[in-house]
Structure 1
């Protein structure tokens, strides 16, 4: 990610650090489907993903982004106007003047487009300034943007640019036609041409055009000679360096060309009308006559624009990211969904902590109504470092595991999170290990591959990371998986990584104090249960011993799969 002078994502451009979230983790957390709904256009999806996957652990960055997002969320008029204006800035930054090399020569058509791009840039800066001028902005990022645009607007170079562009556009708009002389060979092919005059009126059927059409009609006599008005001069387009050598004379010939730049109006002729068939010598001839003006325009204004346009255009992905999420959350809140501003802990301690109240998974928004979704609480602190999450199938274990990862990723991006309250220490990495039936990209059928993946994740983790394990070590027999899982959890505890281990190995959760938690160690593994009520999944989690056999017994009784029920005994 390139650093800019101006950013809505980073408060200090000299200290930009981030860790890229893997595509696998992004998919495991279910955010690929969510961002498709957040984006207004398909091409915005990778833009939003790029910002969110660039995870930074700096608490100051998270606080900075949260402030910017709150300003954009609470000022819909700003995001609507800014999005339209900055789209225009981005278009001519990507395809226009600032992408051309400094020494590139410009043709007449190209120069006219440059003139229009400069004009669009001026309008964009003025309207952005007006859009932000009287707004009650509170965030450091938006206040910096307002100050930067004001600085550009008051810069002497901008004032000069505005004056020169307006004058050149007025001159160009007065030109309606050019008179060109063309020499032909025996096959009626143009062999060279020259500019005769610039005219304030367009050609009509009468006059010169009518005379030309009549002259090529076989019924009429073809003129033996080309008669030229004595008050004008003819400059061959293919005269080589001679034309450049005589450029001074052409520029001073006010009788012929009152303003050579006026020829730029030709750039407005659309290709669809056949203008692309005009011999290339036309562009060459006009370019020769205006090359000095082109060079002067590029030299005096190019460097200034390259800096200021880039600073503003680089805000496009950032502003798009904030705007689309603001629109999405605004709509969801109107439907009854709860979102809150995440809070970074002001005094982070040795152990990275988290306290989430009333949180839920974003994926549920597309499938359920807000009143039907069960909200949960979860906290990591110095004592609780690893949760062994057990429960019945389809009890919400994977959904809750994903939701915790979503909270961190959204919060560290500055976005309001799906919860009633969320206080946390940012994670330096978010790491996931999900099974094959939820991630088709890797073959997890072999235990060796599964162990290798876990080791890679463990080596990347730290005491400030978030590790989410979903049915890890479940591709082998229960006894083998249990044996490996005990050592894995003990190693995670030694590192202090915040972890949720979603598993069917109830024995692992039941024997934490005898097999995993060591006496004298502060951080401990805790049993977390996706509880059931009257044999039904409640989708609520709580700290408790695993239900294990008792739940299985309830299910067996309910469906008549006990010995007595099967054999007819009571």
Structure 2
């Protein structure tokens, strides 16, 4: 059995040589942590997971992981088993800590149930994987690992030896104590008569006299008193000590047999499950999000992977999943998006509240989910991993340090530009909107020319319509590596001012919408002069 087997990484993959993404601020900016929710479990003695540890830029890793995710999405029963396994592995981890301490009767009585949990999780996975229709390399490898455990002589021996123990410790519910009295009815001698798998229930002396519960040996002739309420601490300690001493005497021989059983089978054979805990926690969180979207009726697809050098991002009917999660709209509008030789970076213009920012966010969300090895919010997708996702969005808590908002924006963007390469994605939303159109246009033009020279992909949502008319200037720079093109958020009805939230690739008429609005409200010169 491999202890270095993983469900998220292919065999022989060296995670120490993995190339991390350049920056992880996009996780919160794009609300990825609100989609793939990793529950904090530090109170259980395990480290809290961080999403940034699961992003990958490696095509082989993403292909391997997407296969495992698809198997879980397509096999609901297998997904439920993975969810159930998390709590069992937590308990297995607890037992390992118990077994690392001194081996006593008390620890044995607590830990035998966990040894049974080892059997439970092996059988749970074995049964589920046998029934599921799985195709991925990762899940097929996992099935082989589980089968090798079940078929091993050690596991067969465990199945044979555990039932032979004198008692199933994990099911102890009560003990029967015998006390001899002297002539003055004072306790003289005491001993343990039996250890039981049933609990006693209260009764009265009259019940016995009237022969109630006569056939029920668990029916007492007195009430049951909670010891914690009727005994002082020293009295409680005395009972605990006496009880443990009696159990130690009775179970001395079985415990001597039990200790090597645990040591031989448990520590070694649970290593793989402990090592897989974080993988399973991540997978169940990711697949939970995918399943929830599909249950709401939204498309989630497994993207086809292109190499990073191909610089592909083709999304058919992509949408913003946070709108669906929050049920902001009854109908979520989807759009299509494509990177090609004529457009590596896009300017998005259009009317206010026309869906420009939502569309830009949806592209970034799809890219981020893809690089977690998860399905993306689209009907079809062909994607290349990027080496970094950078966001330059409006920030209400901008830390200006004595600078104006424009200066602060420029500082942030400058830091991003220093890191950008042709395999990165940059998303900008209304950058430089805090200054005059003239100043904003100049800075934005310089930045766009630089983006074209760097060759990164991305989108820039802007109301600076003059930029859309200067594409030739950006694209004809002698050092240009990536072309810039236009996308426009369209109107459903110009006369009524309704929005379709459709985003298409076309050259905008920067004044057309303004003219329509002015005409509609009587603010064009012709209407004004009629008054």
* Pair in the same fold by TM > 0.5: yes
**Secondary structure, counterpart of 2:375 in structure 1:** coil
| Aligned partners of 1:19 and 1:54 also within 8 Å | no
Please give the alpha-carbon distance, in whole angstroms, between the structure 1 residues aligned to 2:152 and 2:280.
24
Give how far 1:546 is off: 3.1
Q: Cα distance 1:354–1:416, how it changes in 2: closer, same or farther (>3 A)?
A: same
Give how far 1:424 is off: 1.2
Q: What's the counterpart of residue 213 of structure 2? A: none
1:312 and 2:273 aligned = yes
**Secondary structure, counterpart of 2:433 in structure 1:** coil
Q: Write out per-residue CA displacement over residues 520-557 of structure 1, whole angstroms, 9 at most, x where no aligned residue.
A: 74521112221224143221122222332222111111
| Aligned partners of 2:302 and 2:376 also within 8 Å | yes
Q: What's the counterpart of residue 436 of structure 1? A: 395
1:155 and 2:113 aligned = no
1:215 and 2:186 aligned = yes
Q: What's the counterpart of residue 70 of structure 1? A: 70
Instruction: State which drifts further: 23-32 or 365-374.
Output: 365-374
**Secondary structure, counterpart of 2:382 in structure 1:** strand
Q: Cα distance 1:43–1:20, how it changes in 2: closer, same or farther (>3 A)?
A: farther
| Aligned partners of 2:109 and 2:170 also within 8 Å | no
**Secondary structure, counterpart of 2:373 in structure 1:** coil
| Aligned partners of 1:20 and 1:54 also within 8 Å | no
Q: 1:113 aligns with which of 98, 110, 125?
A: 110
Q: What's the counterpart of residue 412 of structure 1? A: 371
| Aligned partners of 2:129 and 2:143 also within 8 Å | yes
Q: Write out per-residue CA displacement over residues 39-79 of structure 1, whole angstroms, 9 at most, x where no aligned residue.
A: 8x7869x9997347621011111111221121111111222
Q: Cα distance 1:272–1:150, how it changes in 2: closer, same or farther (>3 A)?
A: farther
User: Unaligned stretches of 5+ in structure 2?
Assistant: 198-224
| Aligned partners of 1:115 and 1:165 also within 8 Å | no
| Aligned partners of 2:98 and 2:111 also within 8 Å | no
User: Unaligned stretches of 5+ in structure 1?
Assistant: 178-200, 217-226, 230-255, 266-270
| Aligned partners of 1:344 and 1:425 also within 8 Å | yes
Q: What's the counterpart of residue 501 of structure 1? A: 460
Q: What's the counterpart of residue 211 of structure 2? A: none
Q: Cα distance 1:124–1:282, how it changes in 2: closer, same or farther (>3 A)?
A: same
Counterparts of 1:473-484 in structure 2, within 5 Å, are 473-484=432-443
Give how far 1:146 is off: 0.8
| Aligned partners of 1:351 and 1:463 also within 8 Å | no
Give how far 1:317 is off: 4.1
Q: Cα distance 1:448–1:344, how it changes in 2: closer, same or farther (>3 A)?
A: same
**Secondary structure, counterpart of 1:384 in structure 2:** coil
1:99 and 2:97 aligned = yes
Q: Cα distance 1:506–1:56, how it changes in 2: closer, same or farther (>3 A)?
A: same
Q: What's the counterpart of residue 212 of structure 2? A: none
Q: What's the counterpart of residue 540 of structure 1? A: 502
Q: Cα distance 1:43–1:106, how it changes in 2: closer, same or farther (>3 A)?
A: closer
Q: Write out per-residue CA displacement over residues 115-165 of structure 1, whole angstroms, 9 at most, x where no aligned residue.
A: 211111112212321221243211111111111111122223323333443
| Aligned partners of 2:468 and 2:508 also within 8 Å | yes
Q: What's the counterpart of residue 301 of structure 2? A: 340
Q: Cα distance 1:473–1:174, how it changes in 2: closer, same or farther (>3 A)?
A: closer
How many residues align structurally? 490
Q: What's the counterpart of residue 176 of structure 2? A: 202
Q: 1:125 aligns with which of 122, 126, 131?
A: 122
Give how far 1:403 is off: 0.3
Q: Cα distance 1:516–1:374, how it changes in 2: closer, same or farther (>3 A)?
A: same
| Aligned partners of 1:85 and 1:124 also within 8 Å | yes
Q: Cα distance 1:515–1:136, how it changes in 2: closer, same or farther (>3 A)?
A: closer
Please give the alpha-carbon distance, in whole angstroms, between the structure 2 residues aligned to 1:319 and 1:377.
33
Instruction: State which drifts further: 323-332 or 454-463.
Output: 323-332
| Aligned partners of 2:347 and 2:459 also within 8 Å | yes
Counterparts of 1:252-291 in structure 2, within 5 Å, are 273-274=227-228, 277-279=236-238, 281-282=241-242
**Secondary structure, counterpart of 1:409 in structure 2:** helix
Please give the alpha-carbon distance, in whole angstroms, between the structure 2 residues aligned to 1:296 and 1:446.
73
TM-score by length of 1: 0.74
**Which structure has the larger Rg?**
1
Q: 1:489 aligns with which of 421, 438, 448?
A: 448
